[in-house]
Structure 1
C-alpha cells in the first residue's frame, strides 16, 4: 500500500515540457537555494503524505505530461502579508505516459493508483501524441 499522495497542477501558459523547464530555470521560479518551486495560495492538508514520496504532475495544454518529485513545502509570505505555500521540487522533469486532464483551478490530489506510468528509459524524448489524437483515442477507450 502506498503511503504517499501526489499533486496535479496545470502549467498555465506553457506550451511544452521544454517551456516548463525554461521557466523553472529563471530566478523568479526558484527557491533561495535554486530549486524550482511553485507558489500557491493554499497549503496542502495532506502535507505528510506528500512529503513521504509524492510528486507534482504537470498538465500542459490539457495533457498530463511530466512529473517532479516534491522535496519540501516552504512558507512564503507575500507582499500582502498572506501566507502561501511554495511547492519545492527536484529539478528533474520525468516524462510520463500522456493522459488527458480537464481544466481545474489550483491543484488536486492524485492517488498513486491514478498516476500515469513514467516513460521507459529511451522513450523519454518521444513527442507526446497530438492532443486531438490523444482525445480521440481516450473517447473510444484506447487510452
Structure 2
C-alpha cells in the first residue's frame, strides 16, 4: 500500500475543502453518479494497484498536511484535445490529521504509510487543531 500527498491549491482550510466537496466533480464534468469527491490531476500513478480502495490522499493546505480522504479508485479521462488525465475518486468523508509541515511541490507525491501523519481521532475541535499546528511548527510533533 502507498498513499498520495497533494497540495490543495486555492484551499486554505479543511472547512473550505468541505464546502467544495459536493460540487467539485461537476467542475470537470466528472460525474460518477454516486456520493464521491473527485479530483482531476494530470498523471496516473504507476503504483495504481497499490492505492485503489486501500490508501488515502493527504491534502496539504497552508503549508501543512491537515486532512485525508480515502481513495476508492482511479479513473482515466481524455479531454476534447486528446490529453489524458487521472480522476482520483474519493470517499466524501474528510478525516482530519495531526498537522504535519510540508513544503510546496508540483503535482502529487507518494507517501509511505509510516510517514503519514496520524488521524486526529475525534480531537477535531478548533483548539486541538490550533494546538497541534503550533506544536508541528515548533517541530515537537
TM-score (norm 1): 0.86
Is 1:76 the counterpart of 2:73 in the alignment? no
Per-residue CA distance 1:50-81 (angstroms, 9 max, x = gap) = 11511000001111000000000011111221
Q: How many residues align?
A: 136
SS at match of 1:72: strand
Match of 2:3 among 2, 6, 9: 6
In angstroms, what is the RMSD of aligned CA positions?
2.0
Task: Indicate how the Cα distance of structure 1 residues 52 and 22 shifts in structure 2: closer, same or farther if over 3 A, else same.
Answer: closer
Is 1:21 the counterpart of 2:46 in the alignment? no
TM-score (norm 2): 0.87
For structure 2, the residue ranges without an aligned partner over 5 or more in a row are none
Per-residue CA distance 1:90-137 (angstroms, 9 max, x = gap) = 00000011100000000000000000111112x123353379845641
Is 1:44 the counterpart of 2:41 in the alignment? no
For structure 1, the residue ranges without an aligned partner over 5 or more in a row are none
In 2, the alpha carbon distance for the partners of 1:130 and 1:14 equals 21
In 2, the alpha carbon distance for the partners of 1:136 and 1:69 equals 26
2:61 corresponding residue in structure 1: 60
SS at match of 1:48: helix
